[in-house]
Amino acid sequence: MARRTLFIVAVLILLMAACGPAATPPPPTIAEARAPTATTVPATKAPAAATATPARGTAIPATQPPSTPKPTPTIARAPAGPKSGGTLRTVIDQREPRSWDGWFIKSGSREVRTRHNLVFSQLFTTPVTPETDCGMVVTPELVKSWQWLQDNLLEIKIHEGVKFHNKPPVNGRELTAQDVAWSANQFIIENTAKGLEPLAPVVTKIEATGPYTVQFRTDGPQPLLVTEGLTAPYGSLVLPREALDEKGLWGDPAKSYIGSGPFMFDKHVPGVSTNFVKHPDYFKKGLPYLDTVRMMIMPDSSTRIATLRSGALDLLFAPIPAAAALPLQGVAGIVVQSCPPDSTFAGRIQFRADQPPFDDVRVRRALQLAIDRDGLLKSVLLGQGITSPHTPREVLNHKPGWDELPPEVAQWVKYDPQRARQLLAEYKAANPGKLPAEIPMMLSTGRGSPYNELAEALTGLLQAAGFNVKPHWVPELEWAYFIASGNFGKDQLAFGPINVTSPLDGLAYWWSKSYEATNRTRIRDPEVDRLVDMFMRETDLKKGELAYKQLVTRVIDQAWEPTLGVFPLEFYGSRDYVKNFRGGSRYFTNTYLEILWLDR
Residue 67 has pLDDT above 60, yes or no: no
Span 103-116, average pLDDT: 65
Position 398 scores a pLDDT of: 54
The residue with greater pLDDT, 278 or 547, is: 278
pLDDT tens digits, one per residue of 513-533: 777 766 778 888 999 989 888
The conformation of residue 106, written as its DSSP 8-state character, comes to G
- Residue 16: what pLDDT? 39
The three state secondary structure string of 163-197 is ECCCCCCCCCCECCHHHHHHHHHHHHHHCCCCCCC
The answer as to whether 256 is a domain residue is yes
Three-class secondary structure of residue 575 per DSSP:
strand
CB-CB contact of 397 with 444 (8 Å): no
- Asked if the structure places residue 533 within a domain, the reply is yes
Task: Encode pLDDT of 311-369 as tens digits.
Answer: 999 999 888 888 889 899 989 999 999 887 765 455 789 898 988 999 999 999 999 99
pLDDT at 453 over 60: yes
pLDDT for res 461 = 97
DSSP state of 149: E
- Is the pLDDT score of 276 beyond 50? yes
**CATH code, domain carrying 158:** 3.40.190.10
Domain presence at residue 371: yes
d(C-alpha 89, C-alpha 86), whole Å: 10
pLDDT-based confidence at 586, cuts 50/70/90? low
So what's the pLDDT on residue 393? Answer: 54
Residue 88: pLDDT above 80?
A: yes
Domain that residue 372 falls in: 348-568
Q: What is the pLDDT of residue 113?
A: 76
More confidently predicted of 392 and 591: 591
More confident residue, 79 or 463: 463
590 with 542, same domain: the answer is no
**Do residues 133 and 184 both lie within one domain?**
yes
Whether 28 shows a pLDDT value over 60: the answer reads no
Under a CB-based contact definition with an 8 Å cutoff, are residues 442 and 482 in contact?
yes
> What's the rounded Cα separation, in Å, for the pair 498 and 505?
9
Q: What is the mean pLDDT of residues 269-282?
A: 96
Measured from the Cβ of residue 427, the count of other Cβ atoms closer than 10 Å reads 19
Q: What's the pLDDT band for 131 if we cut at 50, 70, 90? A: low
Question: 318 in a domain, yes or no?
Answer: no
Percent pLDDT > 70 in the chain is 74
pLDDT computed for residue 199 by the predictor: 74
Cα–Cα separations (whole angstroms), residue 393 to 119, 388, 390, 495: 25, 11, 9, 21
Verify that 283 and 368 share a domain, yes or no.
Answer: no
Identity (one letter) of the amino acid at 349? Answer: I
Angle between helices 526-537 and 541-557 (to 10 degrees): 150
Instruction: Quote the pTM value.
Output: 0.76
Q: Could you tell me the CATH number of the domain that includes residue 473?
A: 3.10.105.10
Do 293 and 438 sit in the same domain of this protein? no
Q: What is the DSSP string of 372-383?
A: -HHHHHHHTSTT
Helix (H/G/I), strand (E/B), else coil: 518: coil
- Taking a C-beta distance cutoff of 8 angstroms, is the pair 418, 407 a contact? no
Same domain, 533 and 560: yes
Q: How far apart are CA 596 and CA 85, in angstroms?
A: 10
Q: Are residues 357 and 250 in the same domain?
A: no
Is residue 379 located within the same domain as residue 497?
yes
Burial 137-166 (b: 16+ CB within 10 A, else e): bbbbbbbbbbebeeebebbbbbbeebbbbe
Structurally, how many domains does the chain consist of? 2
Note whether 532 and 594 are same-domain residues. Answer: no
**Do 570 and 338 meet the contact criterion of CB atoms below 8 Å apart?**
yes
End-to-end CA distance of the chain: 50
Q: Is residue 373 part of a domain?
A: yes
Confidence of residue 20 (pLDDT cuts 50, 70, 90): very low
Query: Looking at the structure, do residues 372 and 437 belong to the same domain, yes or no?
Result: yes
For residues 271 and 11, the model is more confident at: 271
Task: Please say if the pLDDT value at position 592 is more than 90.
Answer: no
Other beta carbons less than 10 A from residue 209's beta carbon: 11
Are residues 409 and 550 located together in one domain of the fold?
Answer: yes
The reported pLDDT for the residue numbered 318 is 83
Residue 464 lies in a domain: yes
The average pLDDT across 377-390 equals 87
CB 483 within 8 A of CB 520: yes
Q: How far apart are CA 197 and CA 206, in angstroms?
A: 16
pLDDT at 591: 81
> Is residue 180 predicted with pLDDT exceeding 90?
yes
pLDDT at res. 304: 94
Same domain, 118 and 143: yes
Does the structure show a pLDDT above 80 at 423?
Answer: yes
Q: What is the pLDDT of residue 32?
A: 36
pLDDT at position 163:
98
pLDDT at 294: 97
Nearest to 316 by CA among 288, 336, 330: 336
Most confident of 224-238, 286-300, 468-482: 286-300
Same domain (yes/no): 578, 554: no
The answer to whether residues 404 and 549 touch, using CB atoms and an 8 Å cutoff, is yes
Q: Enumerate helices (H) and strands (E) in the chain, giving the number of each.
A: 18, 22
For residues 180-197, average pLDDT: 81
Asked if residue 218 belongs to a domain, the reply is yes
295-322 exposure pattern, b = at least 16 Cβ within 10 A, e = fewer:
bbbbeebeebbebbbeeebbbbbbbbbb
Mean pLDDT (the chain, rounded) = 79
Q: Does residue 233 belong to any structural domain of this protein?
A: yes
Q: Does 172 score more than 90 pLDDT?
A: yes
